[in-house]
């Protein structure tokens, strides 16, 4: 089973932006139908940020992050990028990419992380003042 490779984490000043990328270590026979980003801060539950249904490009965002977050997919549908602006210290967390190979219902929910088949190792983002 292919692994997910995340990149782009690091330290950011408050008010700055991050751009994270995720791609499988080997491309599947068919693109994963849901690709999503989650994050988890110490002592907090994992939180869904954004997802994309690669079949038709439908994007889904967490309401609290929608105004400053963009998820995009490459034309080959296997790589997904997360852009988040106006970062604050509370955005400090481990950021994870996840995929759901087949979404029979066409939904890439952010509230059901158990529906995702494969997870990356995570990339740390630290926002400082």
What are the residues facing 100 on neighbouring strands?
Answer: 34
Alpha-carbon separation of residue 67 from 26, 36, 104 (angstroms): 33, 17, 29
CA distance 95 to 126: 10
- Helix/strand/coil for 68: helix
pLDDT tens-digit profile, the chain (129 residues): 678 999 999 999 999 999 999 998 888 888 899 999 999 999 999 999 999 999 999 999 999 999 999 999 987 778 999 999 999 999 999 999 999 999 999 999 999 999 999 999 999 999 999
Q: What is the distance between the alpha carbons of residues 122 and 115, in angstroms, rounded to a whole number?
A: 18
């Amino acid at each position: 089973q292919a692994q997910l490779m995340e990149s782009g984490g690091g330290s950011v000043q408050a008010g700055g932006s991050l751009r994270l990328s995720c791609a499988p270590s080997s491309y599947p026979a068919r693109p994963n139908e849901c690709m999503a980003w989650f994050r988890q801060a110490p002592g907090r539950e994992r939180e869904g940020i954004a997802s994309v249904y690669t079949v038709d490009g439908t994007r889904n965002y967490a309401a609290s992050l929608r105004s400053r977050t963009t998820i995009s997919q490459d034309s080959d549908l296997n790589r997904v990028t997360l852009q988040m602006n106006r970062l604050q210290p509370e955005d400090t967390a481990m950021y994870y990419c996840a995929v759901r190979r087949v979404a029979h219902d066409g939904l890439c929910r952010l509230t059901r992380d158990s529906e995702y088949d494969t997870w990356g190792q995570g990339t740390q983002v630290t926002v400082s003042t």
